[in-house]
């Protein structure tokens, strides 16, 4: 994927350059502008027909992702498309291949090469109930190429080792090595109320975890107290 980052470091936009007939997959609604690019909305499923529709609905219900994904195709050499995530924050590229795949938290995906796809991996029931990462399933990349992911705030890369497991607040997790083992747990006390924390991810093994420096739900809670209550007639 041939691209460049535009804008400031806090709220960048990605401009992807496309040759004739070159395709990329883009998160639905992420296009900011384009030139000589054809956009086509497709079901978020590798299957076609009724099976594809059922699969797309299943992805939407179980993962929180959209039923649709946008396919952008260059009409001429030198075509380009600008894409931006819904929330302000950093954008990074993940290189994926046969032996290096990632699992993505809900809303982390922004775009990918046409040779990259993702599948839904079933979580344990406890993880699904307490997760917030998409319910019964999470996204896992497959194929070879680049995946662009976005975060709220900055993106940090943390290392997990056998002798140094890592605990991350679930709302800060963006992506992690698919080979890492993980479990979701209550931080402390009754749903973490004693520490102000809620659900955490406990990672084990050897690999890396990408986290975002800000928590969108915490921001919403902080802003909510300043929103006037709607009066009833």
Domain presence at residue 225? no
Domain presence at residue 109? yes
pLDDT per residue as tens digits for the range 166-194: 999 888 999 999 999 988 877 765 554 55
Helix/strand/coil for 57: helix
The DSSP bridge partners found for residue 69 are 42
Domain presence at residue 64? yes
Domain that holds residue 56: 2-213
CATH of the domain at 206: 3.60.160.10
**Pairing outcome for strands 37-43 and 23-26:** unpaired
Domain presence at residue 181? yes
Q: What pLDDT sits at residue 50?
A: 47
Pair 103, 49: CB distance under 8 Å = no
Q: Where are the alpha helices (DSSP H) in 35-168?
A: 49-63, 125-130
223 phi/psi in degrees, rounded to 5: -80, -30
- Token pair 């973490």 is found at 192
Domain presence at residue 229? no
Q: What pLDDT sits at residue 19?
A: 97
Domain presence at residue 231? no
Q: Where are the alpha helices (DSSP H) in 25-99?
A: 49-63
Dihedral, 161, 170, 31, 9 alpha carbons, nearest 10 = -60
Pair 169, 136: CB distance under 8 Å = no
For the four alpha carbons of 185, 61, 181 and 209, in that order, the dihedral sign comes to: negative
Question: How far apart, in whole angstroms, are the C-alpha atoms of residue 109 and residue 120?
Answer: 13
Pair 228, 188: CB distance under 8 Å = no
pLDDT per residue as tens digits for the range 73-125: 999 999 999 999 988 999 999 999 988 999 998 889 999 999 998 887 766 65
Residue 130's pLDDT band, with cuts at 50, 70 and 90, is low
Domain presence at residue 56? yes
Residue 213's pLDDT band, with cuts at 50, 70 and 90, is very high
Domain presence at residue 223? no
Question: How far apart, in whole angstroms, are the C-alpha atoms of residue 212 and residue 157?
Answer: 9
Number of domain units in the chain: 1
Structure tokens at 7: 């804008």
């Amino acid at each position: 994927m041939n691209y460049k980052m535009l804008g400031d470091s806090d709220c960048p936009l990605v401009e992807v350059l496309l040759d004739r007939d070159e395709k990329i997959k883009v998160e639905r609604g992420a296009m900011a502008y384009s030139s000589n690019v054809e956009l086509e909305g497709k079901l978020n499923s590798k299957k076609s027909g009724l099976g594809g529709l059922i699969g797309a609905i299943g992805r939407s219900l179980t993962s929180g992702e959209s039923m649709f994904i946008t396919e952008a195709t260059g009409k001429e050499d030198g075509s380009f498309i600008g894409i931006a995530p819904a929330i302000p924050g950093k954008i990074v590229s993940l290189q994926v291949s046969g032996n290096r795949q990632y699992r993505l938290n809900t809303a982390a995906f922004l775009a990918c090469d046409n040779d990259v796809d993702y599948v839904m991996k079933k979580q344990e029931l406890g993880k699904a109930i307490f997760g917030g990462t998409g319910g019964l399933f999470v996204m896992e990349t497959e194929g070879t190429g680049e995946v662009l992911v976005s975060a709220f705030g900055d993106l940090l890369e943390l290392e997990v080792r056998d002798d140094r497991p890592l605990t991350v607040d679930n709302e800060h997790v963006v992506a992690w090595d698919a080979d890492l083992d993980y479990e979701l747990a209550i931080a402390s006390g009754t749903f973490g109320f004693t520490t102000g924390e809620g659900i955490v991810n406990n990672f084990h093994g050897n690999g890396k975890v990408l986290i975002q420096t800000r928590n969108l739900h915490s921001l919403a809670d902080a802003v909510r107290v300043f929103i006037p209550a709607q009066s009833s007639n």
